[in-house]
Amino acid sequence: MPKIHRLARGVAVVGAGMSAFGVFAQKSSRDLFVEAFKDLRASVDQGLDPACIESLFIGNFSSDLFEHQGHLAPHLADAVGLTPRPATRVEDACASGGVALRQGVMAIAAGLADVVLVGGAERMTRLPTAEVTDTLATAGDTLFETPAGFTFPGFYAAMASAYMHQYGMKAEHLMHVAVKNHNNGAVNPKAQFGQTIADWMQGRITSARQKNKPVPAWADVLDFLHDEAANPTIAWPLRLFDCSPITDGAACLLLVAAERAGEFTDHPLHLIGSGQASDAPLHDRVSLTGLRAAQAAAHEAYRMAGVGPADVRIAEVHDCFTIAEVIATEDLGFFAPGTGYGMAEDGVTARDGARPINTSGGLKSKGHPVGASGVAQAVEVWKQLRGEAGARQVPGDVSLALTHNVGGTGNTAVVHIFERRA
Amino acid sequence: MSDRPFTAASFDLFLGEGRLMATRCTGCATLHLPPRAICPTCFGESLEWVETSGRGTLAAFTAIAIGPAAMQAAGYGRDNPYCSGIVALEEGVTISALILGVDARRPENIHIGQRLVVGFEPITGRTVLAFRPA
Ligand SMILES: [Zn+2]
């Protein structure tokens, strides 16, 4: 067994904020980041004088291609008045935000800073969908995977095919994951999709009536999701409602040395575990039904924190596709391999279930501005552990939470564990 | 058998010649596909090119309706989906490839484990690795 690494000093989260997630033609990533920063500022119980911030780490996948703006970190620092402090962009595809968080943790634990602003931002909708698909595909192996025609939905669809073959999962099991995450997003005011899939279906029916068009005769939500016209196949077996959307958004967190947390709040979250790992392209792995990097990152985070999967009360996991949530909950040890696929249908992962997953709505419903997603996961944890999640607050004592953020097809995975003490 | 450098460009050159080439570590005999310049098993730097059998089975697949620009330019799309897959070769290595000669409109008729044989397909001006049912 490798040595258990521990943080050289404690790190606490004392503030968290995010922009609205959605499609905003008039907002640059800078505007989105300013919005998230103002939300964070309002979240610091004893107020925040931004002058105390010493360093910034910004998760961003591809501002270069998405909005023709490289070198994003100093521009974001400048937008919130924080130059000349060091500002570093962190890029690990869709795990950029989670890895930026880890960089912030490392800076504090190493004693290089006491107060760090961690951010994530991505403006994606400026490009047409086909170019977004091509840009996201650059997170895969452009030498050996792209020529085979793989897209990101395609990669996860291939994993789903292997999982279905090995464990007998049906496409309908994945539909229950989408239904559950949209149920959560419907009560998240910051989510891109503020409606359940039932609301969505009803909207289509109402619209057909108003336009005097034939009214679809869907018996229920599953019937709607089985309808190829309403829920078209993107990459078999994944359909539109199995995929996270294209999103503009930003999020940020204020990290401080734990011994200084009291200057900011009496209710900090302690960051007690951090793990990260990498992996080869999908075709070069022993298993196609689990992500080795996620398993390794989780193992490292659990060992650092001195806790196990059973101790985790809620988790935000990287559901870029519905199958990804199923695989994540198995990689994290919540469910045995080959059993995770039934948990949404059985209500286990619902807000009032035994193991709530993606109470924010997840990437699926909250939206997935790729470089911001890993940070926004921690924003949800901040709200849930402090009892501030409003209509989506998980009942009971919620004191330990986990975030799981994946880049590419699992080429990067990063896991963090947060604890509220008393 | 070849002194070409261990690069993707060499791999593509072999594909154009109708050969699916892997590398083998002369130190520990591990086979690598795609080819590698350093062996991840023993970190050895002494490699050789080896031609594969080109025979394998389908390990995972998808039928893609919304493809990247290159595939759309080749005529694929919602009305003409294509199949991408991961193929496990007899030699024990795996690779991403286009799967041709199957009906991507009927993915329920494509089966994990089905036997495949290598092909070399011109797609938008380059030779792309493809497999077909054996
Ligand atoms: Zn070797």
For chain A, give the number of residues: 422
CB contact (8 A) between residue A158 and residue B8? no
pLDDT on residue B69: 86
Amino acid at A291: L
Q: What is the pTM of this model?
A: 0.97
Domain ranges of chain B: 8-51, 55-133
pLDDT tens sequence across A16-70: 999 999 999 999 999 999 999 999 999 999 999 999 999 999 999 999 999 999 9
3-state secondary structure of A88: strand
Task: Give the tokens for residue B95.
Answer: 């690779």
- pLDDT for A259 beyond 90: yes
Neighbours of B46 (CB within 10 A): 11
- Report CA(B24)–ligand 1 centroid distance (Å): 8
Residue of A nearest to B88 (CA): A283
- Cα B6 to averaged position of ligand 1 atoms, centre (Å): 14
Q: Cβ–Cβ of A157/B62 closer than 8 Å? A: yes
**What distance in angstroms lies between residue A299's CA and the mean position of ligand 1's atoms?**
27
Q: What percent of chain A has pLDDT over 70?
A: 100
Cβ within 8 Å, pair B64-A157: yes
Let me know the angle formed at the C-alpha of A331 by A325 and A336, rounded to the nearest 5 degrees: 95
**What are the residues whose beta carbons fall under 8 Å from the beta carbon of A313, sequence distance 6 or more?**
A356, A394, A397, A398, A399, A400, A401
| Chain B residue nearest residue A279, CA to CA | B40
Smallest CA–CA distance, residue B66 to chain A, in Å, is 6
Backbone angles phi, psi at A266, to 5 degrees: -90, -5
pLDDT in tens, chain B (134 residues): 689 999 999 999 999 999 999 999 999 999 999 999 999 999 999 999 999 999 999 999 999 999 988 898 899 999 999 999 999 999 999 999 999 999 999 999 999 999 999 999 888 788 999 999 99
| Tokens 């039934």 -> residue | A342
Percent residues over pLDDT 90 in chain A: 96
Minimal Cβ distance to A282: which of B63, B86, B128: B86
**In whole angstroms, how large is the CA radius of gyration of chain A?**
20
CB-based contacts of A189, cutoff 8 Å, min separation 6: A20
Q: What is the pLDDT of residue B1?
A: 62
Contact B97/A at CB under 8 A:
yes
Measured from the Cβ of residue A99, the count of other Cβ atoms closer than 10 Å reads 24
Nearest chain B alpha carbon to A149: B84
Whole-Å CA distances, A113 to A50, A256, A415? 14, 8, 22
Tell me the pLDDT tens digit for each residue of A73-118: 999 999 999 999 999 999 999 999 999 999 999 999 999 999 999 9
Residue A284 has pLDDT above 80, yes or no: yes
Closest by Cβ to B61, choosing from A133, A153, A161: A161
Question: What is the C-alpha separation between A178 and A367, in angstroms, rounded?
Answer: 13
Average pLDDT, chain A: 97
Mean of pLDDT values over A354-375: 98
Test mutation, B58, B66, B95, B132, chain A, max A CBs within 10 A: B66
DSSP A192-248: S--S-HHHHHHHHHHHHHHTTPPPP---SHHHHHH-TTTS-EEEETEEGGGB----B
Average pLDDT for A278-303: 97
Q: How far is CA A370 from CA A98, A178, A244, A319, B131, in A?
A: 10, 19, 10, 12, 33
Determine contact, residues A327/A289, Cβ cutoff 8 Å.
yes
- Which pLDDT score, from 0 to 100, does residue A328 have? 98
CB-based contact, B86 to chain A, within 8 Å: yes
Interface test with B, best of A132, A161, A164, A323 (most B CBs within 10 A): A161
What is d(CA A60, CA A68) in angstroms, rounded to the nearest whole number?
13
Which structure tokens are listed for A191?
A: 């989510």
Instruction: Name the minimum distance, in Å, from the CA of A241 to any CA of chain B.
Output: 14
CB atoms within 10 A of CB A81: 12
- Residue A422 clears pLDDT 80, i.e. is over it: no
Q: How far is CA A336 from the centre of its chain?
A: 22
In this structure, are residues A114 and A77 in contact, taking their beta carbons and an 8 Å threshold? no
Angle at A290 between CA A285 and CA A293, to 5 degrees: 70
| Ligand 1 center from residue A173 Cα (angstroms) | 42
Q: Tell me if B66 and A288 make a contact (CB, 8 A cut-off).
A: no
Expressed in angstroms and rounded, the spacing between residue B29 Cα and the centre of ligand 1 is 6
CA of B117 to the centre of ligand 1 (A): 27
CA distance A220 to A198: 8
Please provide the DSSP assignment of A4-38 as one string.
Answer: PP--SS-EEEEEEEEPPPB--TT--HHHHHHHHHH
Integer Cα distance of A56 and A252 in angstroms: 10
What are the DSSP calls for B72-83, one per residue? HHTT-BTTB-EE
Q: Enumerate the residues of chain A whose CB falls inside 8 A of the CB of residue B86.
A: 158, 282-283, 288
**What is chain B's alpha carbon radius of gyration, rounded to the nearest angstrom?**
16
- DSSP collapsed to 3 states, A285-327: CCCCCCCHHHHHHHHHHHHHHCCCHHHCCEEECCCCEHHHHHH
pLDDT category of residue A3 using cuts at 50, 70 and 90: confident
Catalytic residue set of A: 94, 368
Confidence at residue A1, expressed as pLDDT on a 0 to 100 scale: 62
Q: Which of A133, A150, A321 should one mutate to test binding to chain B, selecting the residue with the greatest count of B CBs within 10 A? A: A150
